[in-house]
């Protein structure tokens, strides 16, 4: 699909070029060109696909571990007190008068 960028009246060419580059990025055009720049054998495709799957699985495991750690901290950490309910002078308040 062709990418069209129209240059508006009194618009600098640099901004139109920026919009064109943004459209190319959004369309993943450069990634497709790089991917097709040389022949990739079926075994290379398979290896890349497996490597990508391993990378995604590793990232997912790291994400789950991080969530587990933060939920553990929330569960067993000291409760947070708001200023209106917590007074720093609790020892003075307990002293008999």
pLDDT tens for 45-75 read 999 999 999 999 999 999 998 888 877 666 6
The pLDDT of residue 50: 96
pLDDT at 84 over 80: no
pLDDT at 2 over 90: no
Rounded average pLDDT over 70-88: 62
Cα(53)–Cα(45) distance, integer angstroms: 12
Q: Rounded to whole angstroms, what are the CA distances from 41 to 15, 44, 52? A: 40, 5, 17
């Amino acid at each position: 699909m062709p990418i069209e960028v129209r240059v508006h009246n009194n618009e600098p060419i640099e901004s139109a070029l920026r919009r064109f580059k943004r459209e190319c990025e959004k369309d993943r055009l450069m990634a497709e060109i790089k991917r097709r720049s040389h022949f990739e054998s079926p075994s290379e495709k398979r290896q890349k696909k497996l490597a990508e799957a391993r990378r995604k699985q590793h990232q997912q495991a790291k994400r789950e571990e991080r969530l587990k750690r933060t939920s553990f901290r929330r569960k067993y950490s000291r409760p947070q007190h708001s200023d209106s309910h917590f007074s720093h002078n609790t020892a003075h308040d307990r002293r008999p008068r």
